[in-house]
Amino acid sequence: MIEGLFIALEGVDGAGTTTHTKLLARALKDRGLPVHTTREPSDGPIGMLLRQVLAGRVVVPGVSGARPPSWSTMALLFAADRLDHVEAEIAPNLIDGVTVISDRYDHSSVAYQTLTAGGGMDAMTWIKEINRFARRPDLTIVLDLPPQVAARRRLERTGGREIYDDEQLQEQLARFYREIETHFPDDRVVHVDANRPIEDVAVDVMKQVRILRGEEPG
Ligand SMILES: Nc1ncnc2c1ncn2[C@@H]1O[C@H](COP(=O)(O)OP(=O)(O)OP(=O)(O)O)[C@@H](O)[C@H]1O
Ligand SMILES: [Mg+2]
C-alpha cells in the first residue's frame, strides 16, 4: 500500500488555515482520495490541555497574579502534543494510505515560540531540537496575509480572544512566516497569497497539491 500524503497548512492567526484545510479536504475527497483532516493543538490529551492554556483557562500562579505559562513551557507542551499527534493519529492514517491535512504543524512552534521567546537563535535552535523527531510533511502550504487583514478577519468571525492575539506579535509572525522556509531547508514549503477571495486561494492551494502529486508541471 502506498502511504498517504502529509500536508500542513500554516500562517498567522486568521490567515485561513482552518478554512483551507476543510476546502482542500473536500476537493481531494471529490476526486476520490481518502483524506483525514486534523489540527494542532491536536484533539489528543495534550492538545486539549493546550487549548485550555490558549483560552486562558489554565494559568501559572505568578506573584503579581495568574499568567500564561512561559514560552519554554509552551514549546515543550506543543512538542509533546505533536509527537503524540503523529504517533496516535497522523502516522496510522498515512500508513493506511490516507492523505492527512493538518491545520498547523511544527512551523507554528518555531514561529510562535521563537517570537514569544524574544526571537533569539538560542531559543529557536532548542525549539527545533525538541521537534527533531516530528515526521516531516510532504508539503507545507503557508498562507500569506498582511497582519492588518488577518486582524480584521479575526474580528469578523466568532470565538474568544487567545493568548497570542497581540497586534505586535501578529506583525512579527507575518514577517517570520514570509521567510519560514529559511528555517526548514529540507522541507517542501510553498506560499499562497491569501489576501484574495476564498475561492481563488483554494484554487492555488489545490494547484500546489496537484504539483506535489505530479499532476502538473512544477
Ligand atoms: N481568502 C479569504 N477571504 C476572506 N475571508 C477569509 C479568507 N480566508 C478565510 N477567511 C475568513 O477569515 C476568518 C479566519 O479564517 P480561519 O478561521 O480559517 O483562519 P485561521 O488561520 O484558521 O485562524 P486561527 O489560526 O486563528 O485559527 C474566517 O471567518 C474565514 O471565513
Ligand atoms: Mg483556525
Domains delineated in the chain: 6-212 (3.40.50.300)
Ligand 1 atom, smallest distance to 9 CA: 21
Q: What is the pLDDT of residue 177?
A: 98
Q: What is the CA radius of gyration of the chain?
A: 17
In whole angstroms, what is the distance from residue 140 CA to residue 138 CA? 7
Show Cβ contacts of residue 182 under 8 Å, excluding neighbours closer than 6 positions. none
Ranges of the chain with pLDDT below 70 = none
The three grid cell numbers given for residue 103, joined into one nine-digit string: 491545520
Q: What is the pLDDT of residue 109?
A: 98
Q: What share of the chain is helix, strand, coil (3-state, %, to 5)?
A: 50, 15, 35
Q: What is the pLDDT of residue 70?
A: 96
Residue ranges with strand state E in the chain: 6-10, 35-39, 60-62, 65-67, 99-103, 139-144, 189-193
Determine the 3-state secondary structure of 24 from DSSP.
Answer: helix
The three grid cell numbers given for residue 51, joined into one nine-digit string: 487549548
pLDDT digit string, tens, across residues 136-163: 999 999 999 999 999 999 998 877 888 9
Q: What is the pLDDT of residue 53?
A: 97
Q: What is the pLDDT of residue 157?
A: 84
Ligand 1 atom, smallest distance to 11 CA: 21
pTM assigned to the model: 0.96
CA 127–ligand 2 middle distance (angstroms): 22
Does the Cβ of 17 fall within 6 Å of ligand 1?
A: yes
Does the Cβ of 16 fall within 6 Å of ligand 1?
A: yes
Summary mean pLDDT of the chain: 96
CA 150–ligand 1 middle distance (angstroms): 8
Report which protein residue has its CA nearest ligand 1's atom 31.
Answer: 19
Does the Cβ of 102 fall within 6 Å of ligand 1?
A: no
Ligand 1 atom, smallest distance to 104 CA: 25
Q: Distance of CA 126 to CAs 83, 151, 164, Å?
A: 16, 30, 21
Residues listed for the chain:
218
Nearest to residue 51, comparing CAs of 103, 94, 8, 16?
Answer: 103
